[in-house]
Each structure stands twice: as C-alpha cells, then as structure tokens.
Amino acid sequence: MNTDSKSPTSRVSVVIPVLNAAAYLPALLNTLFAQKPAPPRNVVLVDSLSTDDTRTIGRSYNNVRIVPIARFSHGAARNLGAREAEGDIIVLLTQDALPRDTSWLEALLRPFSDPQVGAVYSRQIPHPDAPPTEHFFLDYHFPPHTSMRRVKTGEKHLGLEDVFFSNVSAAVRRPLLLRYPFDETLIMSEDQQFARDLIEAGYAVVYAPDSVVVHSHRYSLKTAFRRYFDSVYSLTVIFPQHGMVTSAAMGWRYLKQEFNYILKRHPRYFPYYCLYTLAKISGTVAGHFATRLPRPLLKKLSLHSYHWADNP
C-alpha cells in the first residue's frame, strides 16, 4: 500500500494496543487504509501476546507492524508504539474504535496547521444498541458541533475539566509524545496525565468533532464498579489536590443531567439505571480510599488486577 508523500497523512503512523483483537481488526484496518485523501504511512499493533488470529490478520496487510509487549500498561503500550513508529504524527486508537468514515483522519489532522497544537482528539459516538447511559456519556463529553481548545490560562492548578482528552482516537506530534510520555505506572487515565503535561508545557489540546469514531461499552454492574474504582484512583494520583469534595461536585453536575435524560427519554431503563449509578458511586468512593485498602482487596476491586501485583 503506497501513500502520497505530499499528503499530510504520509507523515502519520497509527498505534493500536491490541489483545485478542481478531474480531475488530479486519474492519478497522480496512477503514484505516481507505482514508482520504491518503491512508496513514503505517500501522503499529502493540500486541499483548494475543492467543487468537490477531497477529495473522495484522501480517496479511502491507504497512502493518506487530510489536509484542509482555508487561502491559496503557501508558507503556502507547509509548512503545510511538518509539517504534515512523511518522511525525502518532495517531492513537483502541482496537474497538472504528472510524465512521473515510474523512476521519483528515479531520483529525486539520488542527495541526497551528504549530501550537500538540494533540487532537476525536468525537466518539455509540453503537446503535449501546445502553442509554453510554449515549448520554458520549454526548456529554463529546458534543457533536462544539470544537474546543484547551490551553493553560493563569497560574492555577489544572484539573480534570481543564485537560480532558481521550486516546481512544487521538493524534499527537511524535516529538512531543517522546518528550512528554504517558506515565507507565498509572492504572488508567494516562491520557488525562499526558494532556495535563502537554498543556503545562504551553501546547494546546484540541477537540475535533468532525473526526468521528464509533466506540461504546456495555458494562455490567460489577464492571462499572471496578472501572470507576480504577479511574478515580488514577485521577487522585494525577490530581492529588482534588479530593472527595471536588469529585462529588463534578459528579453531581453530571448526574443531575443524566438523571433527567434517563427519566424523560428512557423511563423503562430507570430502575436499572439506579443500580448502575449506585455501582459507579460505590466505585468512585472506594477509588478515593484505595491507598488505605489492603492489597489483596485492591486486586479484587480493580479491573486491572495486574497493576497491583506490578506496582508496590
């Protein structure tokens, strides 16, 4: 697969951490190499020792490299992919995020015409059968028409609302990613840490709503608890100045709007929504107290139990 050397996309490497991704890769890789006006230069699959046909599928495509990683973390996999990549721009994707159309990449790269822009992230929309909570979550955090530019203003400490960023689908200048790498010790939220560091260094992070990927989840109550536990714990590490009060204020603003949305548009879902919200709140509270809990319990509460074995 040849790329046009005059096109901005010829400077692009796509990095995708993968684990048993055979169900996703054909559609994902076909869409990547169908991008207009030209596809990316190459794709790096950072493989966590998959046991399905992930590597076989990857090898069947030109311009796809497979790089193994034995000790996975979200930050380590992306840093490794960036070091192994060839392009000046690193596009980060997850294996379950599918570009909606062939203009996704061009729209994602457009803000880089401004040299101050260090990173750009896409809009995410849910699968049609996603639960109502996912529809609301994605519309809340990834609005359809409002472009956003996040920069450092004043000397105040940056918080989560100042640095929101998602590497589910994003693009970063490779020299900046090598200079300000993802924190490999974080259990989650390494994208928020990266955006904080980039903005603190004087670069802009831009939301590009015209670059769209389809990406959503259907969490069980147990998984919702564990995911919020991990997420909130990681955010307390990144933003130690933000305690329970800040978390409660942010959560309350969100829940008020989500409550009205579910009650008005999906009333039959409301009883399960109450249980789902209780699971999220419980995970959030537990995440704030993670440092006080015994390690055997942390392994059971966490979605990423390996983290607690690898990090003392």
State both tokens at 312.
């003392």
Q: Which domains does the chain possess?
A: 8-214 (3.90.550.10), 221-310 (no CATH)
Give the pLDDT of residue 4: 39
Specify the pairing of strand 12-18 against strand 148-150. Answer: unpaired
Give the pLDDT of residue 85: 95
Taking a C-beta distance cutoff of 8 angstroms, is the pair 107, 210 a contact? yes
Residue 206: phi and psi, rounded to 5, are -120, 140
Residue 162 CA to residue 152 CA, distance in Å, equals 8
Residues with pLDDT less than 50, the chain: 1-6
Give the pLDDT of residue 20: 98
> Which positions ≥6 away from 79 have C-beta within 8 Å?
177, 181, 182, 184
Tally: H helices and E strands in the chain: 13, 9
Give the pLDDT of residue 23: 98
- The sign of the torsion formed by the CA atoms of 259, 263, 269, 275 equals positive
Specify the pairing of strand 117-125 against strand 12-18. Answer: unpaired
Q: Give the three-state DSSP class for 89.
A: strand
Taking a C-beta distance cutoff of 8 angstroms, is the pair 139, 265 a contact? no
> Which positions ≥6 away from 267 have C-beta within 8 Å?
none
Residue 257 CA to residue 14 CA, distance in Å, equals 36
Instruction: Give the other-Cβ count within 10 Å of 286's Cβ.
Output: 20
